[in-house]
Amino acid sequence: MSNMIRSKILIVEDDSGIRTFLRATLTAEGYDTIVASGGTSALEIVASHCPDCILLDLGLPDMDGNRIISSVRQWSTMPIIVISARSMEPDKVQALDLGADDYITKPFGTNELLARIRTALRHRRTASENGEIALRGSYHVGDMVIDYRKHQVRVAGENIHLTPNEFRIVALLGMHAGQVMTYRSILRELWGPSASTDNKILRVHMASIRRKIEPNPNEPRYIFTEVGVGYRMADGDD
Ligand code: CA
């Protein structure tokens, strides 16, 4: 195991006793650890350090942990394991629906925790992640920047006002820049497996997006239509 790159785990927990315990346990197990005691610092660390896995307490002093899940999921598939005292089913469903990979209720056993971490790391989906985004938290192509940390799209330095759904579509295509995404895969990624298969809604969104980001919506430079298939974000030039 010594020749393997050590996985970096971010521990987000405001209780210093639990934080210290988790850090000691994971360090003894050969993991590198980073700690955050609040949501704001956690989000900064996620963007700057790109941990391999996040252990996330939901009850934080400055924000609800669920907000961290939503925010991270806008631009990353890094595994998130919730560790929470909230044991009610709706709490778990909410966290998982927002994109958490797993949920452990306090108090928990060390062996159970380590097993869940190993599983999460094994199932990490990195293949489709855009390396530039993982590194910088943003995607650049031509005059357009998709800023995943600020949830902003800027064209030639100007902030473009997109609706939440429009942003999600642009953000998703940016993550897969250069690749064609089918209508179905976009609908499924954004609205879940039971999403409608009607492409009309996507076309409406796309027409609006193009009016906002493309210098000439009839000759798109940023998002191309693959007729009958889907859309493709232009590949970045740096
Ligand atoms: Ca807490």
The CATH number for 51's domain is 3.40.50.2300
Distance 88 CA to ligand 1 centre (A): 16
Could you report the average pLDDT of every consecutive run of 10 residues in the chain (238 residues)? 73 96 96 97 91 95 95 87 85 80 88 87 56 78 92 96 93 83 82 79 93 94 85 75
Q: Which residue has the tokens 């590194």?
A: 135
Q: Which CA distances in Å does 184 have to 17, 69, 177, 194, 230?
A: 46, 24, 17, 11, 8
Query: Any residues with CB less than 8 A from the CB of 108 and at least 6 apart, and which?
Result: 83
Domain end among 127, 142, 177: 127
Domain identity same for 119 and 169: no
Question: Rounded to the nearest 10 degrees, how much is the dihedral formed by the CA atoms of 179, 188, 55, 135?
Answer: 20
pLDDT of amino acid 127? 41
Can you tell me which residue has the tokens 């493309």? 214
Length of the chain: 238
Task: For CA atoms 180, 182, 185, 187, give the dihedral sign.
Answer: positive
Residue 109: the pLDDT is 92
pLDDT attached to residue 3: 41
**102-105, strands of its sheet edge to edge:** 32-36, 8-12, 53-56, 80-84, 102-105
Q: Which pLDDT belongs to residue 126?
A: 43
Q: How far is the CA of 17 from the centre of ligand 1 (A)?
A: 11
Domain that holds residue 77: 8-127
Query: Which residues are bridge partners to 206 per DSSP?
Result: none
Extended strands (E) in the chain: 8-12, 32-36, 53-56, 80-84, 102-105, 138-141, 144-147, 152-155, 158-160, 180-182, 223-226, 230-233
> Which two tokens mark 161?
């006002």
Contact 14, 68 (CB under 8 A): no
3-state DSSP assignment of residue 192: coil
Q: Kindly list the distances between the CA atom of residue 40 and the CA atoms of 51, 67, 208, in Å, as whole numbers in the listed order.
A: 16, 10, 33
Are the C-beta atoms of 81 and 53 separated by less than 8 Å? yes
Distance (Å) from CA 38 to ligand 1 centroid? 9
Q: Flag whether 215 is in a domain.
A: yes
Hey, which residues does 36 pair with through a beta bridge? Answer: 12
Cα(106) to ligand 1 centroid in Å equals 10
- Predicted pLDDT at 18: 95
The SS3 call for residue 38 is coil
Residue 39 Cα to ligand 1 middle (Å): 11
Q: Which of 127, 161, 193 is the last residue of a domain?
A: 127
Which residues surround the ion ligand 1 when the cut-off is CB under 5 Å?
A: 14, 57, 59
Q: Is 46 contained in some domain?
A: yes
Q: Name the domain count of the chain.
A: 2
Same domain flag for 12 and 123: yes
| CA-based nearest residue to 69, from 119, 19, 10 | 10
Does some domain include residue 238?
Answer: no
Instruction: Write down the pLDDT at residue 212.
Output: 97
Please tell me whether residues 123 and 146 are part of one structural domain.
no
What DSSP element (H or E) covers 96?
A: helix 89-97
Domain edge (last residue) among 109, 127, 145 = 127
Distance 20 CA to ligand 1 centre (A): 13
